[in-house]
Structure 1
């Protein structure tokens, strides 16, 4: 049996299971691991957004900081707003072709997903 260790501290809050430090001061770099699977998919979605259209990019094998940088560059290339949530880049509006061209120019091999 492995020795038990705390997962929460009233002083620090949630603790990282890897290093035992507070999650926001984690030293084991668990959150910097690439999120995507390498298959870059670009898709137009409207579900759950009150009828608004967004273009999503999934599968980029980048850490969180690099993904935020790509999201910023895509927003500038499309002249639109957007965000990065849970490893998915969301750009407001229907920009599938423009995003696919930009990703191809950056050396990725994107695939159009959905309909």
Structure 2
């Protein structure tokens, strides 16, 4: 007994339609703020980290931005306490990516 037969037994009144519903994905717009985002360098447990903070928009937007930065730079990192923490010193590359998206950035430390 295959899956189609099992479904027919469970839902005898259901009619299967072969038409697929079109899926329209709307691109997500990030909130671009007037104040600059802070991009700073720290050493945590002896390892270099880049910390991005100062985003005034929604946390979900900031998480999307964190995921995009991590995938473009092919590095690890996390989102914690309204900060993006990236493993390694990537301040210049991150600042360039953010400026291309329309954000103002400020370099802090070193």
Range of TM-score over shorter length? 0.5 to 0.7
Match of 2:93 among 95, 98, 101: 98
Corresponding residue for residue 80 of structure 1: 75
Deviation track 1:64-86 (CA, whole Å, cap 9, x = no partner) reads 11111010001012110111111
- Summarize the Cα distance change of 1:114–1:63 in structure 2 as closer, same or farther, 3 Å threshold: same
CA RMSD of aligned residues (A): 1.9
Corresponding residue for residue 41 of structure 1: 38
Aligned-partner SS, 2:85? strand
Task: Please state how far the C-alpha of 1:38 moved relative to its aligned partner.
Answer: 3.3
**Structure 1: gaps spanning 5 or more residues:** 1-35
| Count of residue pairs brought into register by the alignment | 79
Under a length normalisation based on structure 1, what TM-score does the superposition of the two structures give? Answer: 0.63
Task: Specify the structure having the higher radius of gyration (Cα).
Answer: 2
Task: Please state how far the C-alpha of 1:44 moved relative to its aligned partner.
Answer: 1.0
**Partners of 1:110 and 1:38 in 2: CA distance:** 8
Q: Tell me, yes or no, if the aligned pair for 1:37 and 1:59 is still in contact at 8 Å.
A: no
